[in-house]
Amino acid sequence: MKRRSVLVTGGMGFVGVHTALKFMEEGYEVILYDIVEREIDILEERKGQWAFVPGDVRDWWKVLETVKKYEVEGIVHTTLIQNPDYWSRFYKVTNANFDACHTLLEICCLEKLKFVFISSNVAYGYRPDSSPMIESDFAPRFSGAILDEYGAMKQMCEALTTMYHYVHGVDSVSCRISWVYGPGTRSHLVWYPQWFLANALVGNPVKLEKGGEHKTDYSYVKDVAHGVYLAFTVRPLKHRLYNINSSEKVSARDAAEIVKKIVPGAEIEIGPGQMEKGIGNPGLHPLQMGTMLITQAEEDLGYTTTPLEQGLRETAEWYRKLPEIIVAPLIEPPK
């Protein structure tokens, strides 16, 4: 029997690694396609189930050569192409990411491969109203809505992914994910729960002047990986775009209280109010009051989620096994 295989772009990234692990658990060989290989502890126990291929996703011939060599069933596209002035100048990055998505879809069309594009909640834009966010919503949907370049890029790639299915017959799906946390990331782009947890585990007190009421949908990375796997494997599908997230809004203050349960004695203080920009990067946290509904993913894919406390407890177990816990510095939002 021929072994199944899948190519994961951004395979050395946080979501890419966990997506790869999920496919490996299900018996797939995984091709981790990325610019640079890294040593990742959670991949070590799966040696022999994955291969690394260095390359740029915009390199048509390199990607085509790889999918042919490994006879992959499809591509899961998690890559985000960045450059040093990423947040100050986005035009080249937006253009590059759209071109990369187009290249991969063309190859999937040529080779008759499946394709899953990893999108984001940013496709909904700035949403200060509390109405639910469903898959058919696209920002701006009401007067005054704000959609930044990153969100516009994600929307463009979603549209391209859907078009290739209906016009060219590619078995393609988009998955919108939201503020992913969990074991395996040491990124500076961290969110309240994991930032609180890391500081608590090393004994650092945390005090923020505001943001306690700010609610966000924090998605456990293992849930995201499972949802992406389902979007790749479950057929037939009724839809071609799914929210793959927790569908639960948690305030920063409630997240802090959960961390205090996990790490007794943790010192975390946070003042009232909203925080329209995130603690990990002051340009990354648009206000979204509505809940991202996962009804379609639950009904079509059988998708399920993990409570925040359970996900953080599992993340704490991972942290405790590390030789050193590196805590991301707090980047204050601009005044």
Whole-angstrom distance, CA of residue 54 vs CA of residue 52: 7
Q: What per-residue confidence (pLDDT) applies to 145? A: 57
Has residue 124 got a pLDDT over 90? no
Task: With cut-offs at 50, 70 and 90, classify the pLDDT of residue 45.
Answer: confident
Between 226 and 133, residue with greater pLDDT: 226
E strands, 35-109, in order: 50-54, 74-77
Place of tokens 């802090």: 256
- Give the model's pLDDT for residue 266: 96
For residue 34, give both structure tokens.
């990325």
Q: Which domains occur in the chain, in start order?
A: 5-179+220-243 (3.40.50.720)
First to last CA, the chain: 61
Average pLDDT over residues 63-78: 97
Given a cut of 90, whether residue 185 has pLDDT beyond it is: no
Number of Cα atoms under 13 Å in the Cβ half of residue 10:
20
For residue 282, the model assigns a pLDDT of 45
Q: From residue 241, how far is each of 168, 218, 320, 335 by CA, in Å?
A: 17, 19, 37, 37
3 state SS of 188 = coil
CB of 328 closer than 8 Å to CB of 270: no
What is the average pLDDT across 102-117? 97
| Mean pLDDT of the 269-285 span | 66
Q: What's the confidence (pLDDT) of residue 334?
A: 43
Residue 257 CA to residue 253 CA, distance in Å, equals 6
pLDDT class of 310 with cuts at 50, 70, 90:
very high
Q: Which residue has the higher pLDDT, 42 or 13?
A: 13
Length of the chain as a residue count: 335
Least confident range from 68-77, 132-141, 177-186: namely 132-141
Helix (H, G, I), strand (E, B) or coil at 90: coil
How far apart are alpha carbons 218 and 178 in whole angstroms?
6
Q: Are 145 and 151 in contact (CB under 8 A)?
A: no
Say if residue 308 is exposed, middle or buried (CB neighbours under 10 Å; 0-12, 13-18, 19+): buried
* 14 or 141, which is more confident: 14
Which of 10, 15, 8, 12 has its CA nearest to residue 183?
15
- Token pair 């050193």 is found at 324
71-108 tens-digit pLDDT = 999 999 998 765 545 445 566 667 778 889 999 999 99
Position 335 confidence tier, pLDDT thresholds 50, 70, 90: very low
Query: In angstroms, rounded to a whole number, what is the distance separating the alpha carbons of residues 181 and 192?
Result: 10
Q: What is the mean pLDDT of residues 212-235?
A: 95
> Do 201 and 313 contact (CB within 8 A), yes or no?
no
Cβ atoms 6, 31 nearer than 8 A: yes
The pLDDT of residue 280 is 47
- pLDDT at residue 110, as a whole number: 97
Does residue 202 register a pLDDT over 60? yes
Over its C-alpha atoms, the chain yields an Rg (Å, rounded) of 19
DSSP states of 242-305: EE-S---EEEHHHHHHHHHHHSTT--EEE-SS--SS-SS-TTS---B-S-B--HHHHHHH----
User: 164 with 240: CB under 8 angstroms?
Assistant: no
Name the average pLDDT for the chain. Answer: 87
Q: What is the DSSP letter of 181?
A: E
Which helix H or strand E contains 3, and what residues bound it?
none
Give the pLDDT score at 85.
Answer: 53
Identify the CA nearest to 279 among candidates 179, 152, 145, 154.
179
Rounded average pLDDT over 247-264:
95
